[in-house]
Structure 1
Amino acid sequence: MTNSDWIALSGAVATFLSVIIAVVALWTQLKKLNDSLTIQQLSDYTKRYQEIILNSPEDINEQEFDLNTRPDYNRTMRYMRAYIDLCFEEWYLHQRGLIDKQTWKSWEEGIRASFTKPAFKDAWLTIRDDTSFRTQFEQFLNSLTEETSLRKQLKRKP
């Protein structure tokens, strides 16, 4: 090999290494950007959820809560609709694979916990009659209300 061959080879190796370093740096930056966007998205969803809860009646999580007899029915339903919409968005992001499994698991557990409470179940039974969501989402929420009813029936049996 001549000197010019060694120089050409060295230049090619240096170029190759530079490209590798640039690709790794770009990948690292994209990962950081993606992580930042994910954190922002989760923060936005948390903020929306918090606003819904802060504007809901204090006793909304009580088993004795009767949505239909409340003087603040309209206001409560407005926030229940916002909650169901939020649940739909979270479900839809999961269906499209746009959130990680851990995030969905956390959200799903929260949704399931909510639907063990009469306020959320009763609100859904009203909302599903006048609002259309994707069939699969409706089936998901319907299954949660059925699970709650079944659990109540099993508890009543001696």
Structure 2
Amino acid sequence: MTNSDWISLGSAVATFLGVVVAAVAIWVQIRKLNEQLMLQHFADYTKRYQEIILQFPENINEASFVLASHPDYSRTMRQMRAYFDLCFEEWYLNQRKLLDKEIWNVWKSGMEAALSKPAFKQAWAQIKKDTNFGVAFEQYVESFNEKAA
């Protein structure tokens, strides 16, 4: 091989290594961006959840809670609607495979805990009469009620 051939080979190897390094750097950046987006998404939903639950009456988790006779019925129902809308969005994102499994399991456990309580069951009984989330989501919510029974 001549010096010119060695220089050409070295140039080709350097170019190839440069492309590999660039591809790895792009892959790392995309992973970091996806992680940041997932974290931001989780933070946004967590903030919305917190804003909703902070508006609930203090005694909402009590077994003796009766929604229909509660003095803040309208306000509580407005927050319940917001809660079920949030649950639907989370469920829908999971159905479309747009959520990390661990995040979905956290949210699912929270839904299951909430839907085991009388106040949420009472609210769902009313909300499903006048709101259409679709059969699949309604069956999903009903499955929690069946587990609790």
TM range (shorter): over 0.9
Mapped partners of 1:3, 1:39: distance in 2: 53
Following superposition, the deviation at residue 131 of structure 1 comes to 0.4
User: Corresponding residue for 2:6?
Assistant: 6
Mapped partners of 2:49, 2:103: distance in 1: 14
Mapped partners of 1:125, 1:147: distance in 2: 16
Following superposition, the deviation at residue 144 of structure 1 comes to 1.1
User: Corresponding residue for 1:154?
Assistant: none
User: Corresponding residue for 2:78?
Assistant: 78
TM-score (norm 1): 0.92
User: Corresponding residue for 1:88?
Assistant: 88
2:22 paired with 1:22: yes
User: Corresponding residue for 1:155?
Assistant: none
User: Corresponding residue for 1:108?
Assistant: 108
Map 1:116-155 → 2, pairs under 5 A: 116-148=116-148, 150=149
Counterpart of 1:69, as a letter, is: S
User: Corresponding residue for 2:33?
Assistant: 33
Following superposition, the deviation at residue 2 of structure 1 comes to 1.6
Mapped partners of 2:24, 2:144: distance in 1: 45
Following superposition, the deviation at residue 106 of structure 1 comes to 0.7
Following superposition, the deviation at residue 134 of structure 1 comes to 2.4
Mapped partners of 2:14, 2:135: distance in 1: 57
Following superposition, the deviation at residue 147 of structure 1 comes to 2.1
User: Corresponding residue for 1:51?
Assistant: 51
**Percent sequence identity over matched residues?**
59
Mapped partners of 2:50, 2:146: distance in 1: 27
Unaligned runs of 5+ in 2: none
Mapped partners of 1:47, 1:30: distance in 2: 25
TM-score (norm 2): 0.97
Over 2 Å off, 4+ runs: none
Unaligned runs of 5+ in 1: 151-158
- Alpha-carbon displacement from aligned partner over 1:97-129 (angstroms, at most 9, x marks no partner): 111111101100000000110011111111111
